[in-house]
């Protein structure tokens, strides 16, 4: 809950600062290790949003007594334990401050939890049905290369991002040739995207929101489709792209149902992408 104030449109970096502040009180060594990591970090954070909505939807005006949320995707057991303890302590010791607004933490809720082997099991079951999938980019997203923002979710960029998160969460190694074949044979088919700009305090950062549908070429075999689905299963937990620890890249995905040409019944091919921690 929060007192009267105004939440800045760009505040993911402020949620990030709050997260590390409360975590450091419980696990300072863990914080230092995370700060010293290169590459993909084992967590993501959303921006603030209205309870009952989803990341990317929030009211700039903060009204006293109204509830807002943020979600953390946690990719290892050590973080799950430490963050739970840190938030519970913050609930007891008093308000926390984000964007100079005091918040009283009222609840912590596990939205969803899955083990890597559960993602793999679902992927193996659903692989034969995978023809088309859609990714909904709910907060500003981008990819970075040579100091520039890349503002279209090309397959190779999406797969590269998800594979880094997959390995950060303890997933098995996927052969390079499999990753290359997936990147070459999954094609953006339809999209509706718009760009925007984030003021990160010391710099501006471009990004995009919207959806993109991808079609999977028939040449991919069952094992390759299963590997692709395993990577897609990381999206609710790890997000996609750059600065996912500061609210960017929050996304969901779904498998688009395939029409059965024989009986006219839609195949059940939806993967629920409920927010949660892994």
Residue 85 clears pLDDT 70, i.e. is over it: yes
Q: Would 90 be classed as within a structural domain?
A: yes
Residue 52 clears pLDDT 90, i.e. is over it: no
pLDDT of residue 269: 35
Are 244 and 157 members of one domain? yes
pLDDT of residue 58: 56
Q: Would 210 be classed as within a structural domain?
A: yes
Long-range residue pairs from 54-57, CB within 8 A, at least 24 positions apart, any chain:
54/138, 54/252, 54/275, 55/138, 55/139, 55/247, 55/250, 55/275, 56/138, 56/139, 56/209, 56/250, 57/138
Q: What are residue 50's phi and psi, to 5 degrees?
A: -65, 140
Report d(CA 210, CA 188) in Å as an integer. 13
Residue 1 clears pLDDT 70, i.e. is over it: no
Q: Mean pLDDT in the chain?
A: 87
Are 222 and 149 members of one domain? yes
Last residue of a domain, one of 77, 103, 129: 103
Between 228 and 257, name the one with better pLDDT: 228
Are 145 and 248 members of one domain? yes
Q: Give how many domains the chain has, as a whole number.
A: 2
Q: Would 277 be classed as within a structural domain?
A: no
Are 47 and 178 members of one domain? no
Q: What is the DSSP letter of 65?
A: T
pLDDT of residue 64: 66
Are 121 and 244 members of one domain? yes
CATH number at residue 92: 3.30.70.1890
Q: Would 260 be classed as within a structural domain?
A: no
Q: Would 203 be classed as within a structural domain?
A: yes
pLDDT of residue 61: 56
Q: What are residue 124's phi and psi, to 5 degrees?
A: -65, -35
Are 126 and 161 members of one domain? yes
Are 172 and 210 members of one domain? yes
- What is the extent of the structural domain holding 79? 5-103
Are 137 and 183 members of one domain? yes
| Least confident piece of the model among 28-32, 113-117, 257-261, 263-267 | 263-267
Are 151 and 89 members of one domain? no
The predicted-structure confidence for 192-245, as pLDDT tens digits, reads as follows 999 999 888 788 899 999 999 999 999 999 999 999 999 999 999 999 999 999
Are 122 and 62 members of one domain? no
Between 227 and 261, name the one with better pLDDT: 227
pTM for the predicted model, two decimal places:
0.86
Between 265 and 199, name the one with better pLDDT: 199
pLDDT grade for 170, boundaries at 50, 70 and 90 = very high
Mean pLDDT of the region 123-143 = 96
Report d(CA 90, CA 25) in Å as an integer. 10
Are 98 and 161 members of one domain? no
Are 79 and 165 members of one domain? no
Q: Would 89 be classed as within a structural domain?
A: yes
Residue 72 clears pLDDT 80, i.e. is over it: yes
């Amino acid at each position: 809950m929060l007192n009267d104030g105004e939440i800045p449109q760009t505040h993911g970096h402020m949620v990030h600062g709050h997260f590390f502040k409360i975590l450091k009180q419980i696990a300072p060594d863990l914080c230092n290790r995370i700060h010293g990591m290169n590459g993909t970090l084992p967590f993501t954070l959303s921006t603030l949003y209205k309870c009952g909505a989803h990341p990317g939807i929030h009211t700039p005006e903060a009204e006293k007594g109204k509830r807002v949320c943020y979600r953390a995707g946690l990719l290892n057991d050590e973080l799950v334990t430490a963050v739970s303890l840190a938030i519970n302590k913050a609930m007891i010791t008093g308000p926390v401050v984000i964007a100079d607004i005091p918040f009283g933490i009222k609840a912590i809720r596990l939205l969803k939890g899955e083990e890597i082997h559960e993602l793999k099991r679902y992927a193996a079951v659903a692989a034969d049905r995978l023809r088309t999938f859609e990714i909904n980019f709910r907060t500003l997203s981008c990819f970075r290369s040579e100091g520039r923002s890349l503002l279209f979710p090309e397959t190779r960029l999406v797969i590269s991002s998800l594979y880094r998160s997959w390995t950060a969460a303890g997933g098995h190694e996927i052969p390079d040739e499999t990753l290359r074949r997936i990147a070459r044979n999954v094609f953006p088919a339809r999209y509706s995207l718009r760009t925007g700009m984030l003021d990160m305090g010391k710099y501006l950062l471009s990004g995009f929101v919207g959806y993109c549908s991808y079609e999977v070429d028939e040449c991919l075999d069952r094992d390759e489709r299963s590997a692709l689905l395993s990577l897609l299963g990381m999206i609710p937990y790890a997000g996609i792209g750059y600065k996912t620890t500061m609210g960017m890249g929050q996304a969901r995905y779904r498998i688009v149902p395939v029409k059965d040409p024989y009986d006219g019944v839609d195949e059940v091919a939806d993967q629920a992408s409920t927010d949660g921690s892994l």
